Structures are given as C-alpha cells and as structure tokens.
A and B are shown apart, each in its own frame.
Chain A
Amino acid sequence: MKNFIEKLLKIDRRLIFLTLTLLLFIPIVRPLGLPNKNIGTEVKGLYDRIESLPPGSFILLSIDYDPGTRPELHPQAIAVLRHAFRKDLRVGMLTLIAGATGLVEELAERIPKDIAPDKVYGKDYVILPYQPNPAAVMTQVGMDLYKIYDTDRNGLPIKDMEVMKGIRNVKDMGLGICITGTALLDSWVALTGDRYKFPFAGGCTAVSQMGYAPYLQTGQLKGLMGGMKGAADYEGLIGHKEKGTSGIDALNLAHLMVIGLIVMANIMMLWLKYL
C-alpha cells in the first residue's frame, strides 16, 4: 500500500494535464447545463445600478484587458453592453491597454450584428481611441474629456456627435465601468471615482476579485463582476445566456478537480506519515 501511495504522489504530471484537458473539453463540446442558482450580490449591485439609470444616460466603459484574460472578461463586456443598450443608455467605450484595441474592435463589430442591431454609431455609442497614459485620461475625463479625446478611433471629431450631447466630463455621466485583468480598476476608483464623486463599477478576473472587497464595502465600487462566474451571473440577470454561462460547466469540473487533488494528496501524505 505504501509503495502504491508513494507512486501516486509522484504521478507523471502529464496524466494530470490529460485529465484536466478532458474535464475542460467534454463540457465545452457537450454542456452539462448545471443551474447557476446563487447570483453574487456584487453582480446584482452592478445590474441594479444600470437598471436604475434613466434612458439616455451616458455610461463610460473602459475595456482594459488583453486576449490573455479574454475568456473571463469578454463575456462580461458583452453582457454589460447588451444590458446598457436594452435600457437605451448611451455608451462611450475606450481602452487604456494597447493589447485591447483588437478586442474593442470585436465588440464594435458585434454591436450592429447581434448585441444591439438597432443602435447607431455616433448616436447611441462611440468608441474612443487608445491612449497611452491611464492616469492622464482618468483625471482629464473628470474635467474636460475633449481635451484628451477630441476624435474617435477613426479620427472623426466627437464633440458634435449626438451621443456626446451634454457630455463634458464624468459629472454628466451616469456610471463608469472598467473591465480589466490589471490594476487599472483601482486607479479608476482613486483618480476618477473618488475624486469626482463619479459612481464606478467593474469587472475583473476571478483571481483578483477578493482584492476588491474593501471597495465594495465602502461603496467606492457600486458593483463587480468576478471572472466567468460574474459573467454567467450577469447573463442570467439579463436573461441572455452566452459564453459566460456555457464556460461555467468547464469551470465547475476544473475547480472540483483542484479540490479533489489537494484533498487526495494530503490524505496520502498523512497516511504515509502516521499509518
């Protein structure tokens, strides 16, 4: 028995990789459809905040993630956009991450296709170009955003666009949302949210979700989507299930595999030590 346990503890890691591959692959090919019953309160907070905005309000959406964190964060951005357009809100999208420009374009491509086909660029939404200095953008949007964003990503002046009517700085906006796999959400809260009393919410990867708990408790963040579960929760709230919901099955099995392996390895270690 002892020899067997020792062998198990030194198992070839490629076998673990193979098991994980199967666990991730099977639910993607054939979703298990497990119910997502508990909606996170912080996700509900963001949903309620958008729900409470009157039609025509402007939301600033900062898409600050690159393809590395795309599986977790892209479904969040799509769900928020879908909800905002359904509520007839105006949306200004921007990015402060150079690697995110292509993802913003993907969103721009999807809006007329399936997110909100009835919405018109320049009237209902605008996409601002990438800027290299986040701190400058975050402070400037609190004073006069046209001093840093005079044109959209195609070089067209934004000041005369219908979507920007009555918007000079964040005081004219209803909500700011930063979806990111970096620490930019902290900066948005400190440099824009707190300083200009601008309601802010966010979306982040599951691994960094815990770090934002103090902001949620103090109300500095009005809501937060954490990882794929956050996206699945939001998709459930708006009643439009997509990648977040379908990815949660794979996530379920992978998480349980991690727990199972840790428990198993520790039981075997105790067995070798005491029995």
Chain B
Amino acid sequence: MILIKKYIPLALCFLFGVLTLGSYYVPTAASENYMEAMNQWENIVAGFAFLLGLFGLFYSHYNKITRKVDGWGYSLFVYIGFFMMVIPAILSEGKIMEGTTLTSIGWGYRFIYNALASTMFSVLAFYIVSTAYRAFRIKSAQAAVLFVAALIVILGKVPLGQMLWDTTLGWTGTQVSGIVQWLMDVPVVAGRRGIMMGLAIGGIVTGLKIIFGIERQYMGRD
C-alpha cells in the first residue's frame, strides 16, 4: 500500500518535475512535443480540479446547513446561485449569444452576475474613503513618507490634481507627472524588484523541495 500511496506519486512527481524543468532549458523538438502533451494534460486535469473544488464547496456548505451553524442560511444561496447559473448554461449549451439575442445564461450573466460583481467591488470605494478619514493617522516618519508619496501619486494620476499642482506649485517649475514618474522608476521599482526576487527565490526553493520529495503536503496527511 505504501508503494501506491507514497513511492509511486513521489517518483512521478520527480520524473515529470525534472523533465518539465529540463525541457525549459533544452529547446529541442522532443522537449517541445513533451511540453505540448503536458499542456494538454494540464488543461484536462485543471477541468477535473474545478469539479473537485465544486464537490468540496458543496460538501462544506451541506455540512453547514445540516448542522445549522451560524449563518447557515447563506449556504443555501451557494446552491441557489449555482443552479441559477448552471441550469440556464446547460439549456443554452454554454452559449451566451444566439445570433443577436442573449440566451438565458447570457441574460443571467449580463443582468445578475455583472451587476452583483460590480456592486461588490464598488462598495470597496466607500469603505476606503471612510477608512482613510478615520484610520490614516500620520504618527511616524514612515507614515508621513507614505502619505506624501500617496498624495503626489493621486495628484499626478488625475487631471484635476495636475491642475491643482500647476496652480499652487507651478512656480517651482516642477511637473507633478515628472515626480510620479520618478517615484515609479526609482523607489517603487527598487521595492517591487526586491519583493519579486524574494518571491522568485522562494518559488524555486519550494519547487525543488516538491520535486525532490522534501515537501509532501500535496499528498495529504497519510
């Protein structure tokens, strides 16, 4: 049993990990064919992963409903929302438009999903403005630097801000867009590049740990 549950998955992970990594650096016809086959496999597996995620989601909300945990009523909406989109999608064979008219899934997308998703995102604007007023306190030098940088970027990114800058600070001969560009090119790039390099090194290390079987969490607890 340990052979099937442990050694074979580890061997497969090592084999395909090394081959995929190698094919990136050895661009031959064989490695291209291998990558093409892998891409098709990955697409199929990703489709099944969606299905697996769906089962997981349904199972978790089914448990919440049967156990009547706090807010279990919201879990019902997971099923209602799902079937409201999936049934019309099956009936219209996945097509959003039929000629020039909307299908039932197209209607659901445009007039339900579209509106709900936009509303959820736009509500953030109200919370950001309210939080900016109530919580953004310049209590340290770092907070002051953050505020000045944010202020300049905001002014530089909207035409009214640029007009205000020109009116009040135009006599200095500096353009706010020039300062924003400098912020983008120097401190932002430096900070972001450091983060990206850290992430990349972390990714490489984690990848190698998975390939060589040191990191095994993807196999579950057994």
Contacts and interface: CB of A to CB of B under 8 A. Distances in A.
A217 B190 CA distance: 11
Contact of A252 (B122, B147, B159): B159
A214 B106 CA distance: 39
Interface in B61-110: 95-97, 100, 106, 109-110
B118 A71 contact: yes
B154 A259 contact: yes
A35 B36 contact: no
Interface size class of A (residues with CB under 8 A): 35 or more
A131 B114 contact: no
A28 interface: no
Contacts, number: 167
Interface string A255-267: 1111101101110
B43 interface: yes
Contact of A13 (B134, B138, B158): B134
B125 interface: yes
A2 to B, nearest CB: 18
B150 to A, nearest CB: 8
A67 B125 contact: no
A227 B45 CA distance: 34
B120 interface: yes
Q: For chain B, what secondary structure do more than half of its interface residues adopt (helix, strand, loop), or is it mixed? A: helix
Nearest to A102: B109
Interface string A91-131: 00000000101100110110000000000000000000001
Contacts of B196: 214
A139 interface: yes
Contact of B134 (A38, A68, A252, A265): A265
B35 interface: yes
B32 interface: yes
Interface stretch (A46-54, A76-84, A142-150, A170-178): A142-150
Most chain A CB within a 10 A radius of its CB, from B47, B114, B196: B114
A67 B157 contact: no
B114 A214 contact: no
Given A13-B130, A132-B43, A213-B188, A143 B158 contact: no
A5 interface: no
Given A101-B96, A135-B42, A69 B129 contact: no
B36 A257 contact: no
Contacts of A135: 42
Nearest to A109: B97
B97 A20 contact: no
Contacts of A187: none
Given A102-B110, A143-B35, A248-B158, 7 more contacts: A16-B129, A102-B114, A136-B42, A258-B154, A261-B129, A262-B132, A269-B137
Interface of A: 9, 11, 13, 16-17, 20, 24, 34-38, 41, 66-71, 99, 101-102, 105-106, 108-109, 131-133, 135-137, 139-140, 143-144, 147-148, 154, 195, 206, 210-211, 213-214, 216-217, 226-227, 229, 248, 251-259, 261-262, 264-266, 269
Interface of B: 24, 32, 35-36, 38-40, 42-43, 45-47, 49-50, 95-97, 100, 106, 109-110, 113-118, 120-122, 125-126, 128-130, 132-134, 136-138, 147, 151, 153-164, 175, 177, 181, 184-185, 188-189, 192-193, 196
